[in-house]
Amino acid sequence: MTASELPRPDNHVIVIFGATGDLAKRKLLPGAFHLQVAGLMPRDYRIIGSAPPSFAMTDEQFIEHAREASAEFGITTPDHPAWAEFTRHLSFSAAEPGNAAGLAEAVQRAEKQIGGNPRRLFHLAVPPAAFTSMVDMLGDSGLATDRSRVIIEKPFGTDLASSRALNRAVHAVFDESQVFRIDHFLGKESVDNILALRFANGLLEPMWNRDYISYAQIDVPETLTIAGRANFYDATGAYRDMVVTHLFQVLGFVAMEPPVSLSARHLRAEKYKVYEALRPLDVRHAVRGQYKGYRSEPGVPADSGTETMVALRAEVDNWRWHGVPFYLRSGKALGASRQVITLGMHEPPLRMFPVIRSDQPTGRRNEIVIDFADPGSISFKFLAKVPGPDMILGASQLAFRYSESFAQANALEGYERLIHLAMLGDQALFTSAEGIERLWEVSTPLLDNPPPVQPYDPGSWGPASVDKLVAPYRWHLPEDAGT
C-alpha cells in the first residue's frame, strides 16, 4: 500500500504548542507538509502554531518559519508546487496558561472556515515541566472537547509517582482514548517490521522463544554529546531519556505474544503483558557511565552524577522468555550511532567440525540482527564451510535491506506516520497510561539506588564493566559497527 492509498483523516484544526521550538522546526512543520504532498492530510484543515506571547509571530512570520524548517529538514522542500497551497492552512496565535482567549478564538475561527464539525488535535511540543499546565489550560479554556485529541511528548514523568500524577492531570481533561503518548521509534517502518518478521513468517515464530534464543540485545548508541542540552539532560540522564521511553517500547514488540489483530486494543494489551512480566530491575545488573569531559559541558555541575550511558539486563519472566536475558544499552559520545536488535541463538554441538576459523569471536555464531535505523535491514548470521579442501567454518550472512527492496518514496518518517495515526484516532503505536506506569514501577530499584557512574572515553563503548555485564556473551556492537 502506497502512502496515497492510506485512509485520510477527518477535517482537523491542529494546534502545535511550542511551534517556535526545535521539535516543530525539525519534525512537525516539515512533516505536515510532507503529509500534505502525500495526500494524507485531511481534505480541509488548519494548523495553528502557538507559543507564549514572548515568542509571538505574525502569520507571515510563521509561514516563513515553516518554509525555512521545510527547506532545511523536510523530505519535501518548499520548491514543490504544493507549497503555496500548504501555506493557506497556516496561522499563528500566542497562548499561555491563564491567557488562552486569543487561541480559543483562533480555533473557533478556523473551524468556521472549514465548516461542519472538524476534530481538534493538540500537539504538546513543549518542555515536560509544562505538560500539566498546558493540559489544564486546554480544560479551563474549553478548547478540549469530546472531539479533541492530545499528543504528549516524552518523557512521560520521571518516576512512578510523577507519571501517575501526569496521568491523573491528563485524565482530568481527556479520556484515555483521546491521549497519544508519542514515541517516534514506534513510527519507524523497521521497528514495525518486527511484527511482520515474527508473525507473517512460519519460519521464525516457532523459534522465537527460550528454546532457541539464548539472549537478546537492544543497542542504541549515539556519537553525539549532550550538545548544549545540559538543562534538560543533567536532570534526566540516559536511562530516563532513552530506556523507559524508547528501548523498553522496542522490547515490547520483540517479546510480545501474537496479538489477535493489529488493532490498538490487541497490540497494546500484548505489550502490557510483556511489561507485567518484567522483573523489577536488579541494580547488580546495571552499569551507569559518564563520558570524560561531561562535567565541563556548559551548565553541568562539577559534581554531576548523571549517567550519559546506561547498560542493563532485563528479564521477562513468562513461559516464552524465562531465563533469556535482554541486554539494553544506550548513551552519548559512544563509538557509533546505531539502532540494533540482536537475537543470539543457542549454539548446537560443534564437535563434528574440526576447525572454526580463528578470527570468529566466541559466544556469538548464529544471530538474527535487526537494524532499525532508517531505512533498516534484517540479517541472519550463521556459520558455513569456507571453500577449500578442509572442513573449516567461517561466518556468513543473509541480509534484507529496505533501501534495496522497496521504493523509499512510499515511506513516511516516524513522526509523520504517528501524527497521521493520531488524526485517525489509531492508538496502536502509542503508549498507554498503564504501560508507562508499569515501566516506571520496574525501574524503581534502579532509580532509588543507582550504582555510581563510571568514566569512559568519548568514542569508546563505555566502561569495561559493560562487557562484563553480558558475559559469557558479547555485544553485537562494536565488532559489527560498520555493517
DSSP collapsed to 3 states, 116-144: CCCEEEEEECCCHHHHHHHHHHHHHCCCC
Superfamily of domain 186-470 in CATH is Dihydrodipicolinate Reductase; domain 2 (3.30.360.10)
User: How is residue 428 written as a grid cell?
Assistant: 496502536
> At which residue does the C-alpha cell 479551563 appear?
140
C-alpha 389/C-alpha 384 separation (Å) is 14
Q: Report the pLDDT value the prediction gives residue 363, as an integer from 0 to 100.
A: 46
Residue 184 to residue 208: CA distance in whole angstroms: 25
Instruction: Tell me the domain boundaries of the chain.
Output: 3-153, 186-470
Which letter does DSSP use for residue 407 in this model?
-
Task: Assess contact for 51 and 18: CB atoms under 8 A.
Answer: yes
What does the pLDDT read at residue 480? Answer: 65
State the catalytic residue, choosing from 65, 123, 184, 246: 246
- pLDDT at residue 101 in the model: 95
Separation of alpha carbons 209 and 68, rounded Å? 49
CATH number of 3-153: 3.40.50.720
* pLDDT < 50: residue spans in the chain: 1, 363, 407, 483
246 is catalytic: yes
Q: What is the pLDDT, as a whole number, of residue 1?
A: 45
